[in-house]
A and B are shown apart, each in its own frame.
Chain A
Amino acid sequence: MTAVTVQRPSWWQRNQRRLAPYFFIAPFYILFIVFFLGPGVFALYLSLHSWNGIGPLKFVGLSNFKELLTDTVFLKALRNTAFYSGTSLFVVTPISLLLAVALNARLVRFKDTLRTIYFTPIVTSSVAISIVFLVLYNQRSGLLNTVLGYLGIDPINWLGSRQWSKLAVLGLVTWRWAGFNAIYFLAGLQTIPQTLYEAAMVDGANRWQMFWEITIPTLRPVLLFVAVIVLIGSAQIFEEPYMLTNGGPVDSSLSIANYLYRVGLSQYLRFGYASAIGFVMFALIFFFSWLQMRSFGVFQED
């Protein structure tokens, strides 16, 4: 009697379809836990301690956070960052929106070329481009002051005065990011059916009314998306002030991230205090993006 051996599928073969996706997505969760979640929990622990990285950790309770409340440099960095985020949201983002509307208009020509030009600044290294802006912002011979001079404006000390340093950073930020955000608005605008505008035109609506009655309401989800990414990005601004002014003069352009780097790594090695700064940054980003989502009605059930 000869036994016919039918090969039974192995355990893995029978179960792979059920288990494979877990293997496929595992790398993200492993890296996330090891490099972000774990360190995040450690940061919380560190923020309650005083530590310079070498000696033993000393538990200090909430005193790092209390110190932040009276740390004038931190409060300045907080105000400066509020300025960067506020202007990014309420100046740069509207410019992006207008740019996108213009690039989407039927009467505008060379759309593709213009779109490419406006997008290019974001692909270059902020370090490389900051060096160019150092030259352009030069008080005596920079191109910006030269152009302003033709308009009868006296030379401005962009990088060396407390009054102007933040605006110099904002100038670079606007130049880099306006076109990038516009790309999202443009993609959103292209999904609005032309027939909506045609119907409005028949009803006698003008451009202004169409913009507020059709464009803005349909763009709401994209507006929210851009508002959130702009907030998250601008609240962590580091490179532009670091390169242009190194936060100065007298900390007038220092951002929270710049201060965190200074306190934790480049000057003082106060790991606990720097971690507390990181947590405040996280809490602020979390709170304000929640506020944005709430004001856009994301959490409303309808």
Chain B
Amino acid sequence: MAKAWRSAFAIVVHALLIIGALITVLPFLWMVLSSFKTTTEIFRYPPALLPDRWIFRHYLDLFRTTLFPRWYGNSLWVATIATLAVLFFSSLAGFGFGKYDFWGREVLFNILIASMIVPFGVVLIPLFVMVSRLGMIDKYATLIVPFMAPAFGIFMMKQFMASIPSELLDSARIDGAQEFGIYWRIVLPLLRPALGALTVYTFLGSWNSFLWPLVIMRSMARYTLPVGLATLIGISSGGKIEYGMLLAGSTLVSLPVVTLFLLMQRQFIAGLTLGSVKE
């Protein structure tokens, strides 16, 4: 009896998990498949999963009639530079907090943690005023510099420092190594798995970032992908919204980040949950 109850329970749990997984996958599937349908077919009732006839026109239109390739390049450039900067400043500060005993460490670290609850909305207006006074509107640097040393990244790196033996650093000191040299030549190579997680986290964040680039970037040729994609809706709304083209754009926007995630998910998830759970 208990056994029958147990297997019935197992079936129900599996069924629910599979239904949930289907709901999770369906929008992705819909996005990709619909990008090969005509816009009329996308809104035909009843909806069908597969296109009647596969068309590639939306992808061609995206490249020929919009600045999409430009935006793609812009996003790639911004996300890459942002990621490199974040990796450097986060690991350096994480090393500082994790491997040194210094006056004020506790207080400074608490300030860092507390800074995470300040909502971006509070500073949005004054930051915008400041950036326009400095003539930094419409500049890629404005998208990168304020977020170069994120508290979360530093926290994550500090957590990883525990796995690096301090004796290793001390013996390097005896050999006459400089402190920055210890970071560069010993700590950084040992941090590789952690840096992998932070790379995915930062790249995703920068690639998908919307509000700040929406506020800062003014000329269409300098838009990042999400801002460009969002304006494509606005531009076409005078007539008919070209959903086929928008879905083709959504597919291409999602492609690199989903791939990056699938390749590095183990490291990424391990990095994210580090520190939320005390072992």
Contact = CB atoms under 8 A, between A and B. Distances in A.
Contacts of B95: 24
Interface stretch (B58-66, B188-196, B269-277): B269-277
Nearest to A98: B16
Given A125-B257, A257-B211, 7 more contacts: A42-B126, A129-B31, A188-B277, A232-B119, A261-B124, A264-B125, A281-B122
A123 B118 contact: no
A260 B9 CA distance: 48
B17 A108 contact: yes
Interface class of chain A by DSSP: helix
Contact of A140 (B16, B43, B243): B43
A117 B96 contact: no
Contacts of B27: 121, 129, 132-133, 136, 175
20 contacts: A20-B96, A24-B183, A25-B93, A28-B112, A31-B146, A39-B127, A43-B122, A43-B125, A99-B17, A107-B9, A118-B21, A119-B261, A125-B208, A127-B229, A129-B254, A131-B243, A134-B243, A135-B247, A221-B278, A243-B230
Contacts of A120: 24, 28, 258, 261-262
Interface residues of A, number: 94
Contact of A281 (B28, B121, B262): B121
B96 A136 contact: no
A278 B127 CA distance: 12
B126 A40 contact: yes
Given A43-B126, A128-B229, A236 B278 contact: no
A179 B21 CA distance: 10
Interface in A1-46: 16-18, 20-25, 27-29, 31-32, 34-36, 38-40, 42-43, 46
Contact of A135 (B42, B118, B128): B42
A232 to B, nearest CB: 6
Interface in B140-163: 145-146, 148-149, 151, 154
A99 B208 CA distance: 26
Nearest to A255: B121
Contact of B25 (A23, A36, A117, A239): A117
A239 B211 contact: yes
Across chains A and B, which 8 residue pairs bring their CB atoms closest together, nearest first? A24-B96, A20-B179, A128-B250, A187-B273, A21-B100, A39-B126, A35-B146, A21-B96
Given A24-B92, A285-B119, A146 B126 contact: no
B273 to A, nearest CB: 4
A125 B254 contact: yes
Given A118-B20, A143-B30, A108 B14 contact: yes
B247 A132 contact: yes
Interface of B: 6, 9-10, 13-14, 16-17, 20-21, 23-28, 30-31, 34, 42-47, 89, 92-93, 95-97, 100, 102, 105, 108, 111-112, 115-130, 132, 145-146, 148-149, 151, 154, 173, 178-180, 183, 204, 207-208, 210-211, 215, 225-226, 229-230, 233, 243, 246-247, 249-251, 253-254, 257-258, 260-262, 265, 269, 272-273, 276-279
A126 B208 contact: yes
Contacts of A222: 276-277
A236 B243 CA distance: 28
Contact of A102 (B17, B23, B34, B132): B17
Contacts of A126: 208, 210, 226
Contact of B226 (A35, A128, A226): A128
B206 to A, nearest CB: 11
Contacts of B17: 99, 102-103, 108, 114
A116 B265 contact: yes
Contacts of B276: 184, 187-188, 222, 225-226
Contact of B129 (A53, A118, A121): A53
Given A116-B262, A132-B247, A236-B119, A28 B125 contact: no
Contacts of A17: 100, 173, 179
A275 interface: yes
A194 interface: no
A283 B203 CA distance: 30
Given A28-B112, A285-B119, A107 B13 contact: yes
Contacts of A297: none
A158 interface: no
A277 B121 CA distance: 9
Contact of A264 (B97, B124, B250): B124
Nearest to A187: B273
A105 interface: yes
Interface in A88-122: 99, 102-103, 105, 107-109, 114-121
A289 B119 CA distance: 12
Interface in A216-241: 221-222, 225-226, 228, 232, 235-236, 238-239
A133 B246 CA distance: 12
A38 B45 CA distance: 55
